[in-house]
Amino acid sequence: MPPLEHILVVNAVLFAIGAMGVLTRRNAVLILLSVELMLNAVSLNMVAFAVYGHVDFGNITGIVFAFFIIVIAAAEVALALGIVVRTFRNRATANVDEVNLLKW
Amino acid sequence: MEEGVTATQVVFWILAVVMLISAIGVVTAGNIVYAALFFIASLAGVAGIYLILTVEFIALVQLLIYGSAVVILILFALMLTRARERPQALFGRSRPLGIAAALGLLAALIGGIVATTWTTPESSTAFEPVGLQAIGDAIFTLWIVPFIIVGVLLSIALDGAIMLASPDEDDN
C-alpha cells in the first residue's frame, strides 16, 4: 500500500486540476466535467482515510460517504445537463459568459 | 513500508500518473469530445486506485455509474449543445487568473498535507479488505435513513431533469 501522504498529494493535484478547469473553461458542460473531477478527488480522499483508519466512526463510514457522493453526483449531472440543454434551446449558447440575463 | 518500493506502490503511481495526465487533458483539450474521452480515462484511473485501496464495491460503482451513465449523459449534452455556425473559444478571458488561483490552491493543499504528520499503520496486515457484506450492513442499518433520502433525491432530480429538458407545447 502506498503511504497516505502520497494518496493525499495525488488527490490534491487532481482537485486543483479540476478547479483550474472550472475557473478557465467557458462551456457549461466542460465546467461540469471539471466539477466531476473535483468530486472524484474528494471521494477518493474519503476512501483513503477510511481504509487507513483515520476516522472515529470505524472503517466503513468513509466508504459509504464515497458511495453517496457518487449517487448525488449522478443526480447533479442529470439536472445540470437538463438546464444546459434548456439554456441552449432558449439562448442558442452553452457558454456561461453569454448567459447574462440576470446580470445588469 | 520501510523496505522500499513495493509492487503496489508502482502500480499506484502508474495509475496516478495516467489519471492526472488525463485530468490535465480534460481541462486543456481544444476539442470537447477529446475532453470527454480524457474524462473516461481519468475515471478509469480513479477506479484503479479504488481497487488498490481494496474497496472493490466503490470501484464497481465508479465504473458502472460514472463510467457509463454519467459519461453517456455528458456526451449527449455535448452533441446536443454544439454550436454549429462558428467555432467557439473554449477558454474564458480570465484564464491566467484561473490558472494562478488553481496553483495557489494546490500550493495551500500540499503545504497542509506536508505540514501534518500522518500515522500510517506499520504492517501491511493492518489493511483488511473491506468486504461487500460489511458495506451492505453499514448502508442498510446505520445509514438507512440517508440512503432512503438519497434515493428520493435521485428520483426527484431525474424527474426534474426530464421536466427541464422536455419541450413545452404552450410556449412555442
A12-26 average pLDDT score = 92
**pLDDT band for position B59 (cuts 50, 70, 90):** very high
Please tell me which residue, B50 or A89, carries the higher pLDDT value.
B50
Q: In this predicted model, what pLDDT tens digit does every residue of B65-106 receive, in sequence order?
A: 888 888 888 888 888 877 555 566 778 778 888 899 999 999
Q: At what angle do helices B32-52 and B71-80 cross, to 10 degrees?
A: 170
Please tell me which residue, A37 or A62, carries the higher pLDDT value.
A37
- Do the Cβ atoms of B160 and A79 come within 8 Å? yes
pLDDT at B127: 60
> Which candidate from A6, A60, A86 shows the least CB-CB separation from B138?
A60
Q: Around Cβ B115, how many Cβ atoms within 10 Å?
A: 7
- Report the topology of domain A4-91: Helix Hairpins (1.10.287)
C-beta separation of B150 from A68 below 8 A: yes
- Do the Cβ atoms of B83 and A94 come within 8 Å? yes
Find, among B57, B58, B62, the residue nearest to B39 by Cα: B62
Q: Does B113 fall in a domain?
A: no
Q: What is the DSSP string of A88-102?
A: HHHHS--BTTT--TT
What gap in Å lies between CA B76 and CA B73, rounded to an integer? 5
Q: Which residue of A has its CA nearest to B30?
A: A25
Q: Does B18 fall in a domain?
A: yes
Q: Does B1 fall in a domain?
A: yes
Determine the distance in angstroms separating the CA of A57 from the nearest CA of chain B, rounded to an integer: 11
Shared domain for B81 and B145, answered yes or no, is no
Shared domain for B140 and B69, answered yes or no, is no
A38-49 average pLDDT score = 91
A66-81: string of b/e by CB count within 10 Å (b at 16+)?
bbbbbbebbbbbbbbb
- Please tell me chain B's helix, strand, coil percentages from 3-state DSSP, rounded to the nearest 5: 75, 0, 25
Find, among B84, B47, B89, B93, the residue nearest to B68 by Cα: B47
What gap in Å lies between CA B66 and CA A83, rounded to an integer? 20
Shared domain for B81 and B144, answered yes or no, is no
A63-78 average pLDDT score = 91
Q: Does B68 fall in a domain?
A: yes
Q: Does B118 fall in a domain?
A: no
Shared domain for B18 and B74, answered yes or no, is yes
Domain total in chain B: 2
Q: Does B109 fall in a domain?
A: no
What number is the ipTM of this complex? 0.88
Shared domain for B58 and B5, answered yes or no, is yes
Q: Does B148 fall in a domain?
A: yes
The domain that contains B46 carries what CATH number? 1.20.120.1200
Determine the distance in angstroms separating the CA of A102 from the nearest CA of chain B, rounded to an integer: 19
Interface subset of A 8-47, CB within 8 angstroms of B:
8-10, 12-30, 32-34, 36-37, 40, 43-44, 47
Shared domain for B15 and B79, answered yes or no, is yes
C-beta separation of A64 from A44 below 8 A: no
Determine the distance in angstroms separating the CA of A14 from the nearest CA of chain B, rounded to an integer: 6
A72 CB within 8 Å of a chain B CB: yes
Shared domain for B70 and B141, answered yes or no, is no
A91 CB within 8 Å of a chain B CB: no
**pLDDT band for position B1 (cuts 50, 70, 90):** very low
A3 CB within 8 Å of a chain B CB: yes
Shared domain for B3 and B68, answered yes or no, is yes
**pLDDT band for position B14 (cuts 50, 70, 90):** very high
Q: At what angle do helices A60-91 and A28-51 cross, to 10 degrees?
A: 180
> Which candidate from A6, A21, A85 shows the least CB-CB separation from B77?
A85
Instruction: Tell me which DSSP letter residue A59 carries.
Output: S
Alpha helices in B3-143 (DSSP H): 7-28, 32-52, 56-61, 71-80, 95-115, 132-137
What gap in Å lies between CA A61 and CA B143, rounded to an integer? 9
Instruction: Find cell 468513509 and name the residue.
Output: A62
Is residue A14 scored above 80 in pLDDT? yes
Q: Does B15 fall in a domain?
A: yes
Cross-strand pairs, A27: A95
Residue ranges making up the domain that contains B53: 1-87+124-129
> Which candidate from A10, A23, A63 shows the least CB-CB separation from B16?
A10
Please tell me which residue, A26 or B38, carries the higher pLDDT value.
B38
